Amino acid sequence: MAASSVATFWLIAILLIIVPGPDWAFTLSAGLRGGSLAAAVGGLAIGYAAITSVVAAGVGTLVARTPGILTGLTVAGGLYLMWHGARTFAAPAAPIAAAGAPASSNRALLVRGIGVSGLNPKGLLVYLAVLPQFTTPRGPWPLTAQLGVLGLVFVLTCGAFYLSLGSVARQVLESRPGTARAITRFSGAAMVVIGLLLLAERLLT
C-alpha cells in the first residue's frame, strides 16, 4: 500500500475531523463536566473502530444499499444523540478535577462515546465514500487490510484531536464556571439539533 495514499487520506481525515459535529459536542461536554477525557475519547475511538471493521468486512456496503437497515440505524443514532444531548442540556456542570471522577462515570462515558460515534450513520457513509478512493483493489495488499490501515489512521487521528480539544477546553474554562456551563448547554443543544436533522433528513426524504 503506497505511503502517499495513506498520507493523502490522513490530510483528508483531518479536514473531516475538525468540522464540528456530535463528536465535538460530546467531547466538550465530557471535558467540561469533569469526566475522564480518556474514557470519552476512547469510546469514540472504539465506535469508529467498529465501523472500520464493518466496512472492511464488506457489511457496510450492504447496510448502505439496504434502505430499511440504514433508516433503522439513522433513527437509532438520531434518538440516541437527542437523548444524550437533552441530558447534557438539562444538567450542565462546571469543570471539576478529572481525578475525582468515579470509575462508574468513566465506564458510562466510554459507553456513551461508543454510542455517539458507532451509531452515527454519517460516519458509516463517510467511511464508505472516502476510504475506497485510497485503496488499490489489485494491489499487493488485500483490500480488507488496506481499509483496516486507513480506518486505523482515522481512529488514531480522531483520538489525538479530541483529546487535545477536550484538554484545551477544560484548561481554558476551568476558572470560568459560568462560561463552562453555557458551553455545556450549547453542546447538549447541538447534539439534540444534530439528532433531529438526522431524523428529518432520513424520514422526510
Asked if residue 2 is part of any domain, the answer here is no
Amino acid 51 reads I
Considering only residues 94 and 144, tell me which one the structure prediction assigns the higher pLDDT: 144
pLDDT at site 47 = 93
The gap between the terminal CA atoms of the chain, to the nearest Å, is: 39
For 102, the domain range is 22-203
Residue 1: inside a domain, yes or no? no
Instruction: Give the phi and the psi of residue 160 in degrees, each rounded to 5.
Output: -65, -45
- Condensed to tens digits (0 to 9), the pLDDT of residues 20-42 reads 778 888 888 787 766 688 999 99
**Domain annotation covers residue 83:** yes
In this prediction, residue 41 carries a pLDDT of 93
3 lies in some domain: no
Mean pLDDT of the chain: 79
Q: Do the domain assignments include residue 7?
A: no
Task: Give the model confidence (pLDDT) of 117-139 as tens digits.
Answer: 888 766 776 777 777 778 777 77
Task: Flag whether 6 is in a domain.
Answer: no
pLDDT band at residue 93 using 50, 70 and 90 as cut-offs: low
Establish if 5 belongs to a structural domain: no
Domain count, the chain: 1
Other beta carbons within 10 angstroms of residue 145's beta carbon come to 14
Q: What are phi and psi of 172, to 5 degrees?
A: -70, -40
Residue 12 domain-assigned (yes or no): no
- Give the model's pLDDT for residue 177: 72
pLDDT digits (tens, 9 = 90+) for 159-201: 999 999 888 888 877 777 777 777 778 877 887 887 788 788 7
